[in-house]
A and B are shown apart, each in its own frame.
Chain A
Amino acid sequence: MKRRYIILSVVLIVLVTISGIFIYQKKQKVITIGIYSDSSWDVPNDNEYKFIDYVVKKFEKENPNVKVRYESGINKNDYLEWLSQKIVDNKAPDVFIVPSEQFGFLSSLGTMRNLNYFMDLSGLNTDDYYPTNLKAGMSAGKQYALPLESNPMMMCVNTDLLKKEHITIPKSGWTLNDFYRICRQVTKDTNHDGVVDQFGYADYSWKDAAQAYNAKLFNSQGTASYFNSDKVRQALTMMEKLYNLQKDYKVTADDFDKGKVAFLPMTLAQYRTYESYPYRVSRYSSFSWTCIRMPGATPDINSTYVNTSMVAMSSQSTHPLLSWKLVKFLSNNSDVQQKLFTYSQGASVLKSVMKSKDITENLQKENNADNALTEEKFASIMAKSQKYPEFKNYNNVMQTADYLINNALENGNVEVQLSNIQNQIQEELAK
């Protein structure tokens, strides 16, 4: 008698559970996504919501009982504030875009769910990605966000100018010494009016130099800085030499546009928009140019910084499985990634997409054929790439460091100031 009751109740519970799951499955679910309208890379973007609309439509088609909602009209500049508001109100979108420079801040607060479990569960192949992109969404060994789009830093070279000076165009494995040598060689007064009118570089900063030496500026928690380490010292000494080459002149990207500068560091997004409307009309570039990877102190150093925009699942999400589906869909679906390449200006984070014919053709169409960025070149840049450091107030601390070091370069006393700078940065970190 007793056993019969037990069996009956077990059967009842199983039935209720199954029907509950069935009803839940059938019920229409709404997941929200946090997204901004403009480009992640501070370049003009007129495709505003084309990409996300495409994603939403495709995702809803594949998952019939799911609706994806997003709030429009948020600029990238207001995005963090908007997201913060949502998080504080406990109404964070299930899935949200994480701009490269906000990852440290958002991950330190625990706003994103650890994705490792979901990655294992769905058998996501991490080899699909460029390692640097994948690492960008990692903190303390845990994957909090999957890469969405990447934007590596490259060095643009005015090939006409180098040819004129009988200098061979550097290959991808070039070094900082090559860079300095060429800069010194091209810095001259070409029309002999007593004013230097041809320069080696524009916009090359001490941060690029530090990266060229692979100098570690902070520890991973952002609690210690190493500004008076040997590598930083070497990098800043080199920077001082470069600075002194053209210290009396303010060389800008404009001068590069005018064909007066040999090298200009540029992101891929800037490169892709460089020759396209509306920039093309405003520029009078009559020289040919190409892109190579950033110089390193030695050829094997990861000298190229890569910005990666990411997509993450909110830790406040009540639909983790669906949210993960959407995250994976955005990051790992090659159709989606291809569309992203078309509508945005960065590079895809999937190796397979970057290798596809469409993308190669697209890249060639955007720039003139002879100096176009090829997949091989892109792969070689990505192979020697490095993600930006991330911790909660990295951006603030870097601003201070920038100010102090540029001041020291201007005054020509970097060597003397370095320990002082280190102390001030350390103080800033302790705040």
Chain B
Amino acid sequence: MSPLQRLGRWIGNHLILAGGLLVLIYTFIPIAVVVLMSFNQPKSKLIYRFDSFTLQNWLHPCADPSMCHAVSRSIQIGLLATVAATILGTLMAFALVRHRFEGRSAANLVIFMPMASPEIVMGSSLLALFVASGFGGQLGFFTILIAHIMFCLSFVVVTVRARLAGLDNNLEQAAMDLYATESETFRRITLPLVFPGILGAALLSFSLSFDDFIITNLNAGNTTTFPMYVWGVAQRGVPMQVNVVGTLMFVVSIAIVLGVEINRRRQEKALV
């Protein structure tokens, strides 16, 4: 290898890593702004820039009570949608991985389509359905919940299915060989092994539901979720407490991801 080539390869090696790190840093810039602005005391409600440091936003997160109502409504909807979507989606994933049946490809298509459709189209279709079936006046909590379960479902199926497909069948066979009944095998072998996938799917569902704006906004009526609250205040002056919620969302999800990872490593060590 000539020195020139070696130099080229060295640059290639480190240039790509440096480029990757730059892209990564770029994705964190707005997060830094969110954290910074959560400590901001704005001079005017209409000018969105950092003026001076304060802890007031963190001490009084509910200075605007309607924001806290919106957050708690988002959490309620998120939890209910997560539970429903995770149960329905896990059942579907089991059917798709463990069973052969007619209409399989149709089922796969219907599960795939919500992930490949623009949200604005799904949102307006649902709205058209609700209005056509006479529920146009009752848009609110339940119509949002219905929509959220619908779009979380596919993501749950895909996540659990991936985990289930990667499972080692031999473990279940071994349990059966050792005279475990079908339900014992399921409870003590299959479920614990699939559980990380189910947990991941649930976390994904919650964050999808909590963060959804486009579908929710079309089907919400007068109900306000947190993203809709932010949308509203974006036109008329953003209270800095919005950034407190943003920072908290970031910190809590990082803590959950790290917790899951540490737990996994500990279990792996325990096995060795």
Do chains A and B stick together as partners?
no
Which residues in A have some Cβ–Cβ distance to B below 8 Å? Answer: none
